A and B are shown apart, each in its own frame.
Chain A
Amino acid sequence: MNSLIHARGLVKRFGDFTAVDGIDIDVRAGEAFGFLGPNGAGKSSTMRMIGCVSPPSDGVLRILGMDPRRDGPRIRARLGVCPQLDNLDPELTVLENLTTYARFFGISRGVARARAAELLEFVQLGERAGSKVEPLSGGMKRRLTIARALVNEPDLVLLDEPTTGLDPQARHLVWERLFRLKQQGVTLVLTTHYMDEAEQLCDRLVVMDGGRIVAEGSPRELIEAHSTREVVELRFATEDQGLYAGKLAGIGERTEVLPDRVLLYVTDGDDALAEVHRRSLSPASSLARRSSLEDVFLRLTGRTLVD
């Protein structure tokens, strides 16, 4: 099978520090592939290696069938990159940011202008084409960066935390555009520490922690393999939630005590809540919900995703 990204035993070291510690990945054409993990898990280092701006320290890496060590510029010509921090030119106009960037790919001025106008419509910035970048909101800048990543009609789009730092409304707008891209068959690779983002966008993902891959699969497969169907969240009016762990024993498959709440992993949330009340435990608040990738992550690493 042809993988757009093929990695075996991929390692990135910075001095004594190992940021990526021997990972295997295969990303197929047309899929949306995610790296989920907390800050410092090695997601961005992996993305930079895939983007051919950071040579691997060890292991095999093939992007679009080519070797980044040898064919960097040829690979980058077919990639679209949306970095974690916007690096747009604040003094150029919205349109000029796209047209000057297109020129780096050797695209003619005429084609660059036409494509830029089209992309600005796509990211809903058509009316801002002539304005400077500086006064744009964070969400608009991110959408412009995404448009810039598409200016060379890439085979593979890399998005490093595409919605980090955006307000909820702006995030949804970005997700909607990315979902549209996915429907058009564009291969997306993204990193995120938001489980809802991973669930919404990714066909398949790997969970990273400490530079390693700890699990791999579709969001649903991961939840089925590593969590129960439902979760009950209980908050007790006390300093130490752990005091209640013993009293909750036996309800559901697993109990997880967090600093601010207790999680019960169960098959049926309502049944579990009824049992909590039958035991005369009265939490200040309670909630029964479906399992999410957050629970998978907690199970696999013993930590929450966003601190």
Chain B
Amino acid sequence: MTPSAYVLEYHLINYRRTWRASVFSSLVLPLLTMLGFGLGVGGFVTGGVEGVSYLQWMVPGLIASTALQTAVGESTWPVMSCFTWVKIYFAQAAAPLRTTDILGGHLAFMLFRVMITTTAFLLVAFCFGALRSAWAVAVLPIALLVGAAVAAPVAAYTASVTSDSYLAILLRFAVLPMSLFSGVFFPIESLPEVLRWVAWALPLWHGVDLSRAATLGLDPGPDAVWQVLYLLLWCVAGWFLASWRYRRRLVI
């Protein structure tokens, strides 16, 4: 096993205490949104969107958005706790682990959490008949890609700030607008040009667009390659940023 696998193992053992509650809430959240948005709002949007029912149109976006929420949730307060409150990162740094092992193991755990919430959402969506194609299984790797594209830079951000009020700022000024303007609830074509550029620049819209093509069984076209590459760019840049910030905190 590589050293980062030992770090992942530590986070999994820690997760074992709360996994039941966590998996339960991973199922309840999609259930509620399905009922509220899909049936409630969907009943209102009677014409459907782009030729499919509102529920079927919105579900892939919500799954990508849930992957984002999980990744952000795991890379903010838990990371701050590892640095500031529990300080377990410092205990790990005293062992024969490198900062990249500590970061890599924790990111792997974050992606594990993304995998759980995404799988749960897919199952619920399947039960509601919201998936139109077997290609929907491709949503899982897409969600992991979105998760990594977000978790790595956010972990870098969390490692750089000293108080958790900065985390609240991140949620309010980055995560919330990204969730609203990334084509989750309505097509970004209805946005003004400027906001459309914001959607294209941020990682979530690409995940939403790819997931939507998958669950609706549409051909994503050659753009899909660029979208995947763009998300990978976020992952790689986020990884280097986070490694740098982690080293600055742990090796002084």
Listed in ascending order, the chain A residues whose CB lies under 8 Å from chain B are 14, 48, 51, 53-55, 72-74, 76-77, 79, 81, 83, 85, 87-92, 96, 100-101, 103-106, 148, 152
The total of Cβ contacts below 8 Å across the A-B interface reads 69
Query: Which B223-252 residues have C-beta < 8 A from chain A?
Result: 250-252
Interface string of B87-105 (1 = CB under 8 A from A): 1101111111110000000
Interface string of B75-118 (1 = CB under 8 A from A): 00000000000111011111111100000000000000000000
A134 to chain B, nearest CB (A): 11
Main SS of chain A's interface residues? loop
Q: Which interface residue of B17, B91, B97, B252 has the most chain A CB atoms within 10 A?
A: B91
A91 to chain B, nearest CB (A): 7
Q: A109's closest neighbor in chain B, by CB? A: B9
Main SS of chain B's interface residues? helix
Complex contact B94–A76 (CB within 8 A) = yes
Leading 7 A-B pairs by shortest Cβ distance: A104-B95, A87-B87, A77-B96, A73-B96, A81-B94, A87-B91, A76-B96
User: Which of chain A's residues have a CB closer than 8 A to the CB of B92?
Assistant: 104
Complex contact B250–A92 (CB within 8 A) = no
| 14 further interface pairs, Cβ-Cβ under 8 Å (given A89-B14, A101-B95) | A53-B94, A72-B96, A73-B96, A73-B97, A76-B96, A85-B87, A87-B86, A90-B86, A91-B17, A100-B13, A103-B6, A104-B92, A104-B95, A152-B95
User: Which of chain A's residues have a CB closer than 8 A to the CB of B187?
Assistant: none
The docked-state distance in angstroms from the alpha carbon of A142 to that of B88 is 15
Listed in ascending order, the chain B residues whose CB lies under 8 Å from chain A are 1, 3, 6-7, 9-10, 13-14, 17, 86-88, 90-98, 250-252
Q: B89's closest neighbor in chain A, by CB? A: A87
Contact of A89 among B7, B86, B251 (CB under 8 A): B86
User: Which of chain A's residues have a CB closer than 8 A to the CB of B98?
Assistant: 72-73
Complex contact B94–A91 (CB within 8 A) = no
B80 to chain A, nearest CB (A): 14
A160 to chain B, nearest CB (A): 11
User: Which of chain B's residues have a CB closer than 8 A to the CB of A55?
Assistant: 251
Q: Which interface residue of A54, A73, A85 has the most chain B CB atoms within 10 A?
A: A73
User: Which of chain B's residues have a CB closer than 8 A to the CB of A89?
Assistant: 14, 86, 88
User: Which of chain A's residues have a CB closer than 8 A to the CB of B88?
Assistant: 87, 89
User: Which of chain B's residues have a CB closer than 8 A to the CB of A90?
Assistant: 86
User: Which of chain B's residues have a CB closer than 8 A to the CB of A100?
Assistant: 9-10, 13
User: Which of chain A's residues have a CB closer than 8 A to the CB of B7?
Assistant: 104
Complex contact B14–A91 (CB within 8 A) = yes
A131 to chain B, nearest CB (A): 14
The docked-state distance in angstroms from the alpha carbon of A148 to that of B251 is 21
Complex contact B97–A53 (CB within 8 A) = no
User: Which of chain A's residues have a CB closer than 8 A to the CB of B95?
Assistant: 76-77, 101, 104-105, 152
User: Which of chain A's residues have a CB closer than 8 A to the CB of B250?
Assistant: 53
Complex contact A54–B251 (CB within 8 A) = yes
The docked-state distance in angstroms from the alpha carbon of A87 to that of B89 is 9
Query: Can you list 20 A-B pairs with a CB-CB distance of less than 8 A?
Result: A72-B98, A74-B96, A77-B96, A79-B94, A83-B90, A85-B87, A87-B86, A87-B87, A89-B14, A92-B14, A100-B13, A101-B91, A103-B6, A103-B9, A103-B10, A104-B3, A105-B96, A106-B3, A106-B6, A152-B95
